């Protein structure tokens, strides 16, 4: 079950820098998680200042 980034995303990029498998990328003013690459570790959710990454 991959994580997804909700609309609360501020576009700060903290989650992208911390993703151990590089599953997060920027699209427009928000970040997205590639479900095929995500290993469901939750690191992104732990570092996000607004809790935008959520387990789907």
Mean pLDDT, the chain cut into blocks of 10 residues (56 residues total): 93 96 94 96 97 94
Phi-psi region of 27 (alpha: psi -120 to 50; beta: other; left: phi over 0): beta
**Please, is 4 exposed, middle or buried when counting C-beta atoms within 10 Å of its C-beta (0-12, 13-18, 19+)?**
middle
Task: Note whether 56 and 1 are within 8 A (CB).
Answer: yes
Domain spans, the chain: 3-55
Take residue 30 and report the two structure tokens written for it: 């928000």
Tell which CATH classification among 3.30.470.20, 3.40.720.10, 3.40.50.720, 3.30.70.20 matches the domain 3-55.
3.30.70.20
According to the model, what pLDDT value does residue 43 have? 97
Q: Which residues are bridge partners to 31 per DSSP?
A: 26
CB-based contacts of 27, cutoff 8 Å, min separation 6: none
According to the model, what pLDDT value does residue 1 have? 77
């Amino acid at each position: 079950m991959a994580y997804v980034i909700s609309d609360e995303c501020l576009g700060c990029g903290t989650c992208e820098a911390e993703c151990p498998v590089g599953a997060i990328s920027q699209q427009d003013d928000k970040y997205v998680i590639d479900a095929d690459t995500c290993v469901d570790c939750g690191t992104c959710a732990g570092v996000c200042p607004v809790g935008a990454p959520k387990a789907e």
